[in-house]
Amino acid sequence: MGRQLTIGNPPIDVELRRSARARRLSLRVSRLDGRVTLTIPKRGSEREAIGFLRERESWLRGHVGAVAPITEVRIGASIPIAGQLVPIHAGQGRRAVLKDGVLLAPATDTGRRVQAFLKLLARDRLAAASDTYAAAVGKPYDTISLRDTRSRWGSCSSRGGLMYSWRLVMAPPAVLDYVAAHECAHLVEMNHSSAFWSVVAGLMPDYAQHRAWLRENGDQLHRVSFDG
């Protein structure tokens, strides 16, 4: 954990980190939570780092302001499901239910109930997509597991175990399908060689646009909070 700094008015919190691998000063704003990190070389000058930070305050404020706010899952909020914003209304019973374009959820423990609904929906859709693409490449997968990962949307183990982020169910269906196609292509090629991408293209010729959607918008799926 680095040292905490503040800059400007209103103040912006900045975490100052030293890194033995850093060769120069670098400033980063996380698109997931808006956290600001200033990294300096192990023997770098802190005074120089603070000057560097002040010179870039205008740039920093622009990027911090561009980070979308976190959506708290509660009655009255709207969340994306299959790429469409869906309002959450109070419903009867203990489970969340999607009906006529509205997500009906309990008024208490709303976040956890909605999350459980999304996980079940994600498992059904990812299993169906994986079945389709595994059959297309002629290679069976072993298992499917769901996690809430931030570093990757999916993975394929050497034994054919497929792992996906359940948050993919909030993305457009074609994006979810792309990740399933990508991981099933690893059943054939356990790498990211040109041969691998040829398999992906054979499964989904327009995969590049869905890959780009994840790069540009995937962080917004992580900005839906179910902890409230």
Confidence of residue 1 (pLDDT cuts 50, 70, 90): low
Model confidence over 177-223: pLDDT tens digits?
Answer: 999 999 999 999 999 999 999 999 999 999 999 999 999 899 889 98
Confidence (pLDDT) at 64? 77
Confidence (pLDDT) at 198? 98
Model confidence over 99-151: pLDDT tens digits?
Answer: 999 999 999 999 999 999 999 999 999 999 999 999 999 999 999 999 999 88
Model confidence over 55-108: pLDDT tens digits?
Answer: 989 888 887 777 767 899 999 999 999 999 999 999 988 999 999 999 999 999
Confidence (pLDDT) at 3? 82
Q: 33 or 104: which carries more pLDDT confidence?
A: 104
For each of the domains in the chain, give its residue range(s) and CATH number, in order of start: 3-65 (no CATH), 72-225 (3.30.2010.10)
The alpha carbon of residue 205 and the mean position of all alpha carbons in its chain are separated, in whole angstroms, by 23
Confidence (pLDDT) at 7? 83
Q: 135 or 17: which carries more pLDDT confidence?
A: 135
In the predicted structure, residue 173 carries a pLDDT above the cut 80: yes
Distance CA 136, CA 203 (A): 7
